[in-house]
């Protein structure tokens, strides 16, 4: 597979992992970084922009309302506010026809 075949140019990747964000940005993806720390997200988005990439941030926390769920299950489920912010951002990036 050639480097061109692996390019993520024109794609959007949503992640909570800084390492993944940097890697996919290097491969041409627009990155949406989700996390609870606005300052840290801003620094990471700035790093990506300085390298010529595109990054947007969504500040959000993880939902822990249902104490019967395992920690892993709760951590994998974003809050409604995070989902709403992400949906709004994706609508801005890719307006409906």
Superfamily of domain 3-90: NAD(P)-binding Rossmann-like Domain (3.40.50.720)
Angle at 42 between CA 78 and CA 76, to 5 degrees: 15
Per-residue pLDDT of the chain (97 residues; tens, 9 = 90+): 445 456 888 888 888 899 999 999 999 999 988 888 899 999 999 999 998 999 988 887 544 444 445 555 555 565 666 777 777 777 777 776 6
Residue 48's Cβ-count burial label (10 Å; 0-12, 13-18, 19+) is buried
Q: Domain coordinates of the chain in residue numbers?
A: 3-90
Q: What is the pTM for the complete model shown?
A: 0.64
Two structure tokens written together for 10 = 């024109």
């Amino acid at each position: 597979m050639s480097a061109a075949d692996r390019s993520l140019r024109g794609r959007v990747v949503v992640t909570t992992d800084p390492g993944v964000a940097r890697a996919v940005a290097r491969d041409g993806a627009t990155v949406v970084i989700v996390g609870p720390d606005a300052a840290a997200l801003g620094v990471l988005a700035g790093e990506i922009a300085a390298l010529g990439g595109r990054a947007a941030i969504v500040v959000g926390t993880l939902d822990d309302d249902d104490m019967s769920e395992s920690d892993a299950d709760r951590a994998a489920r974003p809050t409604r506010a995070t989902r709403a912010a992400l949906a709004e951002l994706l609508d801005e990036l890719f307006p409906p026809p």
